[in-house]
């Protein structure tokens, strides 16, 4: 069993503690902090893990000095953002190993998530479980976008606290770590600033639900490909966008989550009486709208969704907490949502376990710092590099075109 499945299984089991009526509330807090620490630990001990590390280690070994990067473009500038190159250049100057670099980035992300989950009145283990299962690949395998997402979360927290200078700094700096941040964060911020002072009602979410249905039927692949073709962006960006657009599906397993969420938000009375609630509801609305428009383009949406997913999870659970004394319809929708969440989490873990055994390159086999107890660093790097190169040359194309119906059988 690889480390991804172990991490998902740990938070899944701990999520059930949210529904145990402990006599003392601190027992829930102990369970949550234990689950959080174990998750952070499992995600941080990865060692030259995944397929992307072969590119990142090359940058860490060969990137120019910080002063050189400030004066001129790097040889990696066509493919990697300035902020990321500068950060790795500093790491290189400080003689920070690749493992420590990834551990520091994971620490930044989990620090941002821990600060964000302080806004949750309950069900923190469930929130962590949904986040890990939906976003495990982003948390585990990406570096640049993880930094950008972490800074964006801290920006929203700063906005709630009225620290506008920090808000601007976090948002602007995040732009220099991943290109997607510029588009997604601006969309979320525009919706946030135009709606958080208003009374957001269930009508907004009902409209978003209709959009989801309509856009699930449109030929979005062709529409977005045409837009990307005429857009004033670099050839590399066009290639990346086209690659993501090729993976379009109308029927996806995640509908088991999307449909009950949309129905619940379309019928319940949205509670947004405080500034904090209005901010989170606005971020939720932005996330639901983006998801509705881009539902079919799942491969691209997975990358974009990571920015607002943690905020949406917090907002939904806060709404569920407000609805404890609701009518039968709302209570029924709440129970359906929780049941579907349980089914989705269960299926996702089974699918993760199935996939790890189906990848010929064994790219998902666990590799942690504890492997150094019986192998040398060079041996581990060589083994993992061979797996990564095999993955990029053979497995990736196969899995991008794998039929969803086969996975569900």
Give bridge partners of residue 46 from the DSSP assignment. 368
% of the chain at pLDDT higher than 90: 58
Give the C-alpha separation, 102 to 242, whole Å: 29
Q: Torsion angle, CA of 103/107/109/110, rounded to 10 degrees?
A: 130
Can you give the residue ranges of every domain in the chain?
3-45+97-357
Q: Cα separations (Å) of 152 from 80, 283, 343?
A: 19, 12, 30
Q: Are 74 and 64 in contact (CB under 8 A)?
A: yes
Residue 237: band (very low, low, confident or very high) from pLDDT cuts 50, 70, 90: low
Q: Which helix (H) or strand (E) segment is 59 a member of?
A: helix 53-62
Residue 238: band (very low, low, confident or very high) from pLDDT cuts 50, 70, 90: low
For every residue of 276-344, DSSP letters joined together read HHHHHHHHHHHHHHHHHHHTT-HHHHHHHHHHHHHHHHHHHHHHHHHGGG--HHHHHHHHHHHHHHHHH
Average pLDDT over residues 84-94: 96
pLDDT at position 7? 93
φ/ψ of residue 394, rounded to 5: -125, -55
pLDDT at position 215? 82
Give bridge partners of residue 188 from the DSSP assignment. none
User: Is residue 257 pLDDT above 60, yes or no?
Assistant: yes
- pLDDT per residue as tens digits for the range 272-289: 888 999 999 999 999 999
User: Is residue 399 pLDDT above 50, yes or no?
Assistant: no
pLDDT at position 392? 81
pTM of the model: 0.89
Q: Which helix (H) or strand (E) segment is 105 a member of?
A: helix 98-116
For every residue of 203-262, DSSP letters joined together read HHHHHHHHHHHHHTTS-HHHHHHHHHHHSS--HHHHHHHHHHHT---SS-TTHHHHHHHH
Least confident span in 92-96, 231-235, 236-240, 302-306: 236-240
> Both tokens of residue 9?
């299984």
Average pLDDT over residues 240-250: 66
- pLDDT per residue as tens digits for the range 297-355: 877 788 889 999 999 999 999 999 987 766 888 999 999 999 999 999 999 999 888 87
Average pLDDT over residues 111-138: 95
Q: In residues, how long is the chain?
A: 409
> Both tokens of residue 119?
């806004």
Residue 96's CB: how many other CB atoms inside 10 A? 15
Give the C-alpha separation, 57 to 380, whole Å: 13
């Amino acid at each position: 069993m690889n480390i991804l499945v172990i991490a998902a299984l740990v938070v899944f089991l701990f999520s059930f503690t949210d529904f145990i009526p402990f006599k003392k509330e601190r027992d829930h807090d102990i369970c949550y902090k234990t689950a959080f620490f174990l998750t952070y630990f499992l995600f941080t001990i990865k060692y030259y893990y995944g397929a992307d590390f072969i590119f990142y280690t090359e940058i860490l070994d060969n990137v120019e000095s910080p002063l050189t990067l400030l004066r001129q473009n790097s040889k990696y500038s066509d493919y990697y953002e300035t902020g990321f190159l500068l950060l790795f250049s500093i790491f290189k100057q400080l003689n920070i190993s690749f493992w420590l670099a990834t551990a520091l980035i994971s620490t930044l992300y989990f620090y941002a998530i821990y600060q964000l989950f302080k806004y949750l009145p309950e069900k923190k283990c469930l929130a962590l479980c949904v986040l890990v299962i939906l976003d495990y690949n982003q948390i585990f395998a990406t570096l640049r976008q993880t930094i950008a997402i972490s800074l964006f979360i801290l920006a929203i927290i700063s906005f709630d606290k009225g620290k506008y200078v920090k808000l601007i700094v976090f948002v602007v700096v995040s732009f220099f770590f991943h290109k997607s941040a510029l588009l997604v964060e601006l969309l979320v911020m525009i919706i946030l600033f135009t709606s958080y002072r208003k009374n957001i009602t269930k009508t907004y979410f009902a409209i978003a639900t209709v959009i989801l249905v309509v856009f699930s039927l449109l030929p979005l692949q062709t529409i977005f490909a045409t837009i990307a073709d005429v857009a004033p962006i670099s050839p590399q960006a066009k290639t990346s966008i086209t690659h993501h657009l090729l993976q379009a599906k109308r029927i996806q397993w995640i509908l088991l989550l999307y449909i009950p969420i949309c129905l619940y938000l379309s019928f319940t009375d949205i509670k947004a009486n405080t500034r904090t609630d209005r901010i989170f509801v606005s971020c939720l609305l932005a996330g639901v709208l983006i998801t509705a428009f881009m539902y079919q383009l799942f491969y691209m949406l997975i990358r974009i969704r990571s920015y607002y997913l943690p905020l949406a999870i917090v907002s939904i659970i806060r709404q569920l907490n407000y609805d404890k004394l609701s009518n039968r319809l709302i209570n029924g929708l709440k129970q359906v949502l929780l049941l579907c969440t349980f089914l989705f989490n269960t299926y996702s873990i089974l699918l993760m376990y199935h996939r790890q055994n189906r990848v010929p390159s064994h790219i998902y086999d666990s590799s942690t710092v504890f492997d150094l107890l019986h192998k040398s660093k060079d041996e581990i790097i060589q083994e993992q590099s061979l797996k990564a190169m095999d993955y990029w040359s053979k497995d990736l194309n196969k899995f991008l075109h794998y039929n969803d119906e086969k996975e569900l059988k």
